[in-house]
Amino acid sequence: MEADVIDKIRKCMASALKLNEATAAGIDPGTTAADVPGWTSVAHLSLILELEKAFGVQIGNEEIASLGSVSAILASLQRKGISA
């Protein structure tokens, strides 16, 4: 199941951060904003919107800044009932 969630996160990141296939394929739970070219503060907001749409969740303003890694995104989704 985790692979499905990670794949969906990859797709969201590829779309929001304008990543090529090779870069998107390298995204895993250990990936952080510092590892991904283009993961800027503005792109981060686009990523949040993509995640909300793809997973049918709402991410609160207080949580947005803390989602600077794939592991943090996974943890947030788990708290919202999305199984990884």
Q: Each residue of 19-63: pLDDT tens digit?
A: 999 999 999 999 999 999 899 999 999 999 999 999 999 999 999
What residue ranges define each of the domains in the chain, with the CATH number in brackets?
2-79 (1.10.1200.10)
pTM, 2 dp: 0.93
Euclidean distance between the first and the last CA atom of the chain, given in angstroms as a whole number: 6
Question: On the CB side of 68, how many CA atoms lie within 13 Å of its CA?
Answer: 8
3 pLDDT band, cuts 50/70/90, is confident
Which amino acid would we find at residue 57? V
Report, as an integer, the average pLDDT of 3-23.
Answer: 95
pLDDT of residue 49: 97
Between CA 77 and CA 84 the distance in angstroms is 8
27 close to 20: Cβ distance less than 8 angstroms: no
Q: What is the DSSP letter of 36?
A: S
Between CA 39 and CA 28 the distance in angstroms is 15
